Structure 1
């Protein structure tokens, strides 16, 4: 765990406190992560940059990260930027990991781009699994409560005609 890892934590602006909590929890578990996401702690003098500047910063910072984490809260799916960030991370071939904010695993809507490009989101208490994903280890699928999810066997095969 001594290696430093560059991550981008995508989130809705109102979840800045949850981002800080996640970074602290990862650090407490011994993970050395550098967060390249844009949150209110990055704004000098409390001034918010223009939308064009934020979009440019987001593209640069997603490209610098090795792991893209989507912090999923009650309003994440309504974010002006989250879907674009996820799509851009996918286009760059980044590892996309979802994590529910504290207390929201059972009652939130996933961002559309995460439904398309992400995997199964982790529960808030799965920091060890998130750390494994950051380090490039295989991550088992899990249910919203954090328990390991079994395989899905309801596959339908359709024969196409020429």
Structure 2
């Protein structure tokens, strides 16, 4: 089975260090990560239009097999992150959230992630992220990597 994965990692540009760390950690786990997201280190020195940025992002998200949202303390404030998540949903991509290193339960999720994403996983859950990249289903968890308690609902049957 090939461990080469095309991913788009949505993130706030101030979290670039976490982006590079995540890719390095996945590479050490044996994955060959081909990242389609925009890296601040590769920015052009001139300003481009929002329409051009949007077109470029759509193409990169479409190219990816998995969409990962790197969730830091200010990610929820970034309009491009919400745009990217909406595009990933529109294109039918699997949307995975991973909390940046050091984030706690108080981190707010981006609005689009709340609507279209699943349960985010903790920074130290590389095995779970690897399973997700390989197409396996994993249980939801808290930012610290502990299992998230899901509510148990009683089924009430009503005769009509």
Could you say what the CA RMSD is over the residues aligned between the two structures, in angstroms? 2.1
Q: CA deviation at 1:158?
A: 10
Q: How does 1:143-154 map to 2 (within 5 A)?
A: 143-154=142-153
5+ residue gaps, structure 2: none
Gaps of 5+ in 1: none
TM-score (norm 2): 0.89
Give the CA deviation at 1:86: 0.6
Q: How far apart, in 2, do the equivalents of 1:112 and 1:142 lie?
A: 19
Q: How does 1:64-75 map to 2 (within 5 A)?
A: 64-75=63-74
Cα distance change on mapping 1:50 and 1:147 into 2, 3 Å: same
| 1:6 is the counterpart of 2:10 | no
User: Are 1:88 and 2:75 matched, yes or no?
Assistant: no
1:31-78, Cα deviation, whole Å (9 max, x unpaired)? 11100001212224x555443322211110000011000000011011
Cα pair distance change 1:47/1:158, threshold 3 Å: farther
TM-aligned CA distance change 1:50 to 1:30, over 3 Å: same
Question: TM (normalized to structure 1)?
Answer: 0.88
Listed one character per residue, the Cα deviations across residues 11-48 of structure 1 (whole Å, up to 9, x for unaligned) are 1111111111110010011111100001212224x555
Contact 2:82 / 2:110 at 8 angstroms: preserved in 1?
yes
Taking the aligned partners of 1:8 and 1:26, their CA distance within structure 2 comes to 14
Structure 1 runs (4+) greater than 3 angstroms displaced: 46-50, 154-159
**Structure 1 residue 135: deviation in Å?**
1.1
Shift, 1:131, TM fit: 1.0
**Which segment drifts farther, 70-79 or 46-55?**
46-55
Aligned residues: 159
Distance 2:109 2:149 in 1: 21
- Which residue in the other structure is 1:26 paired with? 26
